[in-house]
Amino acid sequence: MTINYDKGFFRPSNLFKLHGSVFWYTFLPALICGIAAAVIKVFVGDKVSYASWDEYIAAILTNNIGFTSFSSIVGFLVTFRTAKAYDRFWNGANYIKKMQAEYFVTASNLVAFSRHSTAPSKQNYLHTLIRLLSMLHAVSLHPLEVG
């Protein structure tokens, strides 16, 4: 599934697109897990009794285990996804260069094969050949520019 983004350097509207987003697939499981964690923390929680609700919330907020775990997981996921995106970009760039090289080899072979031809329309044939290969290359690259 391809997501059509707004063109431009930076569009804040791209951050809030829901079409093609994984938000809807992850929202319900995350909500269920969050509610379950809150219920367990409130009812089972620490065995130490606190004088007030504010003291209890302050004790939860000063404990940094949750933040450290969350930061580690997010750091790992960001690193993994960035490496995967980088790999996909370079694979795509290499495939485009291979395609361009194949078109060049095709054109150079056809020009080389017609070099010793004595046909009167040789020049017209070569011009038409190069134009058609150029158009084929442009048509091949067009989906990358549009999508």
- Asked whether the predicted pLDDT for residue 89 surpasses 80, the reply is yes
Q: Provide the pLDDT confidence category of residue 3 given band limits of 50, 70 and 90.
A: low
- Asked whether the predicted pLDDT for residue 1 surpasses 60, the reply is no
Predicted pLDDT of residue 46 = 61
User: In sequence order, what DSSP letters do the residues of 16-61 get, joined into one string?
Assistant: G--TT-SHHHHHHHHHHHHHHHHHHHHHT--SS--SSHHHHHHHHH
- Indicate the average pLDDT of the chain: 84
Q: What is the pLDDT of residues 22-45, one digit of tens each?
A: 777 888 899 999 999 888 877 776
How many other CB atoms are there within 10 angstroms of residue 59's CB atom? Answer: 13
